[in-house]
Amino acid sequence: MTTSHDVQGESFFLNLRFLLIICVFAGNALEPLVASLQLAQQWFSWIFMFHMPLFVLVTGYFAKTSLTGLAGQKVLLQIGMQYLIFQSLYSILDIVIFHVPHIHHSFFAPYLLLWFLASHICWRLLMLSFQKIPPVVQLGISVLLGILVGYLPVDGIWLSVCRTFVYLPYFVAGYHLKYVDIRRFFTTPVRIIAGIVSLLLMVLAGTSYFGIPAGWLYGNMTYGELGHTEWYAGIYRIGIYGVQWIASLAFLSFVPTVTGRITEMGRRTLYVFLLHGLIVRTVVAKGVYEYIDTPVEVLLILVCAAGLCCLLTMPWVRTATRPLIEPQVEWMLKPTPYLFRRSA
C-alpha cells in the first residue's frame, strides 16, 4: 500500500535529483575555468563538496526498489549496456573532436563522467553481498573500505576503483534512508541553520584558508597520487567525509518537499547526465572558454547549464535518444530455448 509518506518521499528525492543534476552540469561546465577565474573556482569547490555524495545517496535510495530479482538483473544489464554504448561514443568523439589530455581509451578506464556507471554496477553488487549484514555494520564496512582504498598502489581511475569505494558509504546510506527521518530532522529552524551553513561553505570555498585540493573532492585518486604517502593519510579521507556530510546535509535544506514541475523532470536526469558531457566537451573543443574572463560570463555559464538541464529533460529528448540511454535488455533475460527437445 502506498502511503502519503511514500509519495512525499519520492517527490522529495526526485526534486533533489533534479537540483543535483543542475549542479553536475554546472560543475563540469565550470571546471575549465577553475584555474583562471576565482569565482569559478569558488562555485566549483562548493558544488563538489556535496553534489556527487548526494547524487550517489539518491541513487542508493531509488535502488531499494530494484536491487534484487528480475528488476535488479534488468537494471544491471541496462547500466552495463549504457556504459558500453557511451564509453564507445565518448572515446570516438574524443579521438576525433574533444582531444581531452591524459585520457585512456579503454573499457577498463571510464571516460570522465562515465565512472558513475561503472561504480553504480559495483555498488549494486556490493549491496547484494551486504544483504545479511545489519545496516549500521554495512555503513561501517563501507566507510572503512572508502578509507583503505586510498592505500592501493594503483592508478585510481582503472575500473573506477577509488570512486567506487570512496562513494560507497553514500550509496549504503541512501539505500537505508527513509523520508520520514528526513522530515523529522529538517524542521523549519534546522532548515534555516542548514541553509546558512551551506551559504557559509560557499563563501569559505572562495578563500585561500579553505584550501581543499580538488583531487580530494573528486575521490578518484589514491593517497599516493595525491602526494600523501604517510601511513596516516587515511585520516585526511575521514576529514573529507566530514566536510562532505556537513555540506550534503546543509544542501538538503534547499530541496522542496512538494510535488511540482521539477519533480517530473527529476525522473529524466539520466538523460542530462549522459548527454551533457557531449555539450561541455564540444564547447571546450571549439575554444569558447578562451573568451570567458569575467564574473558576469561565469554566471552566464551557470544560467546556460540550468537552462540546458531543463531542455535535456524534455519528453522529445527522451523520445529521440531513448534507444541509446535506455537500451532494451529484456531479450537477455529470456530463457534460452533448447536446441533439441528430449524425446518422450
- Phi, psi dihedrals of residue 109, rounded to the nearest 5°: -130, 90
Q: Is the distance from CB of 121 to CB of 80 less than 8 angstroms?
A: yes
Decide if 111 is inside a domain: yes
pLDDT for res 3 = 56
Decide if 342 is inside a domain: no
Using CA atoms, how far residue 31 sits from 36, 45, 158, 337, in Å, is: 10, 10, 22, 51
Cell of 7: 509519495
Decide if 42 is inside a domain: yes
Decide if 341 is inside a domain: no
- Please state, in angstroms and rounded to a whole number, the distance separating the CA atoms of residues 175 and 64: 6
| Residue 106 bridge partners (DSSP) | 109
pLDDT for res 90 = 96
Q: Kindly report, residue by residue over 229-257, the tens digit of the pLDDT.
A: 999 999 999 999 999 999 999 999 999 98
- Please state, in angstroms and rounded to a whole number, the distance separating the CA atoms of residues 323 and 50: 31
Q: Kindly report, residue by residue over 72-98, the tens digit of the pLDDT.
A: 999 999 999 999 999 999 999 999 999
Task: Count Cβ atoms below 10 Å from residue 239 Cβ, excluding itself.
Answer: 12
pLDDT at 104 over 90: no
Decide if 338 is inside a domain: no
Decide if 301 is inside a domain: yes
3-state secondary structure of 109: strand
Is residue 256 left, alpha or beta, with left meaning phi > 0 and alpha meaning psi from -120 to 50? Answer: beta
Domain hosting residue 19, numbered range: 4-328
| Residue 254 bridge partners (DSSP) | none
Q: Is the distance from CB of 121 to CB of 79 less than 8 angstroms?
A: yes
3-state secondary structure of 278: helix
Chain centre distance of CA 9? 20
Query: How many domains would you assign to the chain?
Result: 1
Q: What is the mean pLDDT of the chain?
A: 91
Q: Kindly report, residue by residue over 279-337, the tens digit of the pLDDT.
A: 999 999 999 999 999 999 999 999 999 999 999 999 999 999 999 999 998 888 876 55
Using CA atoms, how far residue 256 sits from 185, 246, 311, in Å, is: 15, 19, 21
Is residue 103 left, alpha or beta, with left meaning phi > 0 and alpha meaning psi from -120 to 50? Answer: beta
Decide if 212 is inside a domain: yes
- Please state, in angstroms and rounded to a whole number, the distance separating the CA atoms of residues 323 and 319: 8
Decide if 335 is inside a domain: no
Average pLDDT over residues 24-33: 95
